[in-house]
């Protein structure tokens, strides 16, 4: 826990100052997690604000401060999931409006402005995003939390409120699908 239970209790009882402190403590971690979940740095703050907004209005439903972190992660997962679904719909309609040549030109123009290190990072991001596109939004988030964020099955169990075996099966299937896509991309 990054804050003590007493601070969460105060925030829960409507103390805005305490809520501010909670946000300050978790902001960096949550924004980082969101960045890796959605893969779009430009939208991270918006999604992050949505997470803390939901936290503000749902904090009084929190049963005990002990379950605060899984609760916050659950809000993060839900906000990321909503974002990814919106994004997929938007992306589909946007791509159907542009010709392939226009898309390539836009990519080239964006790439020219970045330095080498940034380009390498972008390549990794794009590669992982493309691989994760092979699974549903739910599985993509679950896989990212496990493989990238490094959360344990116990932690995931608390966030998802699902038993460990069900999570294992789901993770295994999602990973297999991503692995297959990765191997296919490597062979090309």
Partner 1 sequence: MDRMSERREGGGAGLDALFAEYRSAFPDVDGSANFMPGLWQKIEARRVETTSIFRHMVRACVMAAIALTLLIIVLLPRVRPEPIYSASTYVEVLDEAHSNDAADLLAGGEVQ
The site for partner 1 (CB under 8 A) is made up of 20, 23-24, 27-29, 31-32, 35-36, 39, 41, 44-45, 48-50, 52-53, 56-57, 121, 124-125, 127-128, 131, 147-150, 168-169, 172, 175, 178-179, 182-183, 186
Q: Which is nearer to partner 1, 106 or 169 (CB)?
A: 169
Q: Are 108 and 140 in contact (CB under 8 A)?
A: no
Q: Which is nearer to partner 1, 53 or 95 (CB)?
A: 53
Q: Are 47 and 80 in contact (CB under 8 A)?
A: yes
**What count of other Cβ atoms lies within 10 Å of the Cβ of residue 182?**
16
Q: Which is nearer to partner 1, 58 or 102 (CB)?
A: 58
* Beta carbon of residue 53, minimum distance to partner 1 (angstroms, whole number): 5
Q: Which is nearer to partner 1, 49 or 102 (CB)?
A: 49
Distances in Å between the Cα of 188 and the Cα atoms of 150, 181, 184 are 29, 11, 7
Sign of CA dihedral 110, 111, 115, 121: positive
Interatomic CA distance for residues 74 and 71, integer angstroms: 5
* Beta carbon of residue 120, minimum distance to partner 1 (angstroms, whole number): 8
Q: Are 72 and 19 in contact (CB under 8 A)?
A: no
* Beta carbon of residue 32, minimum distance to partner 1 (angstroms, whole number): 3
* Beta carbon of residue 28, minimum distance to partner 1 (angstroms, whole number): 5
């Amino acid at each position: 826990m990054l804050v003590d239970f007493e601070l969460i209790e105060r925030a829960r009882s409507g103390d805005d100052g305490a809520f501010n402190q909670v946000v300050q403590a978790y902001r960096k971690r949550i924004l980082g997690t969101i960045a890796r979940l959605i893969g779009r740095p430009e939208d991270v703050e918006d999604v992050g604000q949505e997470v803390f907004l939901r936290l503000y209005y749902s904090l009084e439903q929190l049963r005990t401060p002990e379950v605060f972190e899984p609760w916050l992660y659950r809000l993060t997962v839900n906000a990321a999931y909503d974002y990814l679904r919106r994004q997929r719909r938007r992306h589909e309609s946007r791509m159907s409006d542009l010709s392939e040549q226009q898309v390539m030109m836009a990519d080239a123009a964006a790439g020219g402005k970045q330095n080498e290190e940034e380009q390498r990072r972008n390549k990794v991001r794009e590669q992982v995003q493309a691989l994760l596109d092979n699974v549903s939004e739910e599985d993509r988030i679950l896989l990212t939390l496990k493989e990238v964020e490094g959360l344990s099955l116990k932690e995931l169990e608390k966030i998802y409120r699902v038993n460990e075996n069900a999570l294992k099966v789901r993770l295994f299937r999602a990973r297999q699908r991503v692995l297959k896509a990765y191997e296919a991309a490597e062979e090309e």
